[in-house]
Amino acid sequence: MLILRTLLFGPAHGHQIAKHIQRTTEDLLQVEHGSLYPALHRLERKGWIAAKWEPAGKDLKREFKYYRLTAAGRKQLVREESKWKRLTGAVARIMWPVEES
């Protein structure tokens, strides 16, 4: 869910996603970075995100595995968000920081 949301802003690789989640949740969700990957792969398997090895924007020598949202993933996100919106408190704050401020 969080991953899909992160990818809404554009393709990202694993490390970026991890950092982003860490930042947006204001370190509330302290997870091991490693545990991100099974989740990523699961989403990939479901066809909600697609993965591709691409050179990084500024550093052409290095390739990262970029994940991007697929059409199915976008739909899934909409579905999930409507579900999640009904939830309250901390979760809402994490999900919609802009609306709150």
Partner 1 sequence: MRWRRRKAREQDFDRELRTHLELEAEERRTTGLSPEDARYAARRMFGNVTMLKEDLRDVWRFGWLDRIKQDVTYAVRTFRKAPGFTAVAVFTLALGIGATTATFSVVDSVLLHPLPYPNADRLVVVWERLARNPARPPVFDSYRDFEIWKSGSRSFEQLAPATWATGGHIVTGAGPARNVLAMPVGSDFFPLLGVQAEFGRTFQKDDLERGCTVVLSHRFWSQAFGGQRDVTGGHISLDEDVCTIAGVMPQGFRFYPDAAAMWMLITPDSAIERDPEHANVGVFGRLRPGVSIESAQRELEALRRNEVRKDPPGMERSAVVYPLAEQFAYLTGPSLRLSVLVLFGAVTFVLLIACVNLANLMLVRCLARQRELAVRAAALGSGRVRLVRQLLSEALLLSSAGTLAGMALAEGAVHYFRVFNPIEMPPGNPVTVNRVVLGFAAALALLTAVVSGLIPALRASQVDPMDALKVGGRGASLGPRAGTFSRILAAAQVTLSISLLAGAGLLIESVNRLASVPLGFRTDHAFTIPIQLPKWSYTKPSQRAEFYRAALSRAATIPSVESAAFTTSLPLNNSRFGSNTLVTEGRPEPAPSALPDVAELSITPGYFRVMRVPIKAGRLFDSRDREKSEAVAIVNEALIHKYFPNEDHIGKHIGLREPVNDGTWLTIIGVAGTEKSRNFFREMNWDEIPLVFRPMAQRPPSSATLVVRTADGQKQIGAAIQREIRALDASVPVGDLETMDEQLSRVLAYPRFRAVVLGTFAGLALLLAGMGLYGVLAQSTAQRTQEFGVRMALGADSRDVLSLVVRQGMILTSAGLAAGLIIAFASTRLLASLLYGVRATDPRIWFGVSFVLLLVALVAICAPAWRAARVNPMVALRYE
Comparing CB distances to partner 1, the nearer of 9 and 37 is 37
CB 99 within 8 A of CB 90: no
Task: Find the shortest distance in angstroms from Cβ 2 to partner 1.
Answer: 17
Tokens read off for 96: 């919609």
Comparing CB distances to partner 1, the nearer of 15 and 79 is 15
Which residues form the interface with partner 1 (CB under 8 A)? 13-15, 18, 32-35, 37-38, 41-42, 45, 53, 62-65
Comparing CB distances to partner 1, the nearer of 17 and 77 is 17
Task: Find the shortest distance in angstroms from Cβ 5 to partner 1.
Answer: 20
Q: Token match 């579905």: residue?
A: 79
Task: Find the shortest distance in angstroms from Cβ 33 to partner 1.
Answer: 5
Burial class (CB in 10 A: 0-12, 13-18, 19+), 49: buried
Q: Output phi, psi for 2, to 5 deg.
A: -65, -35
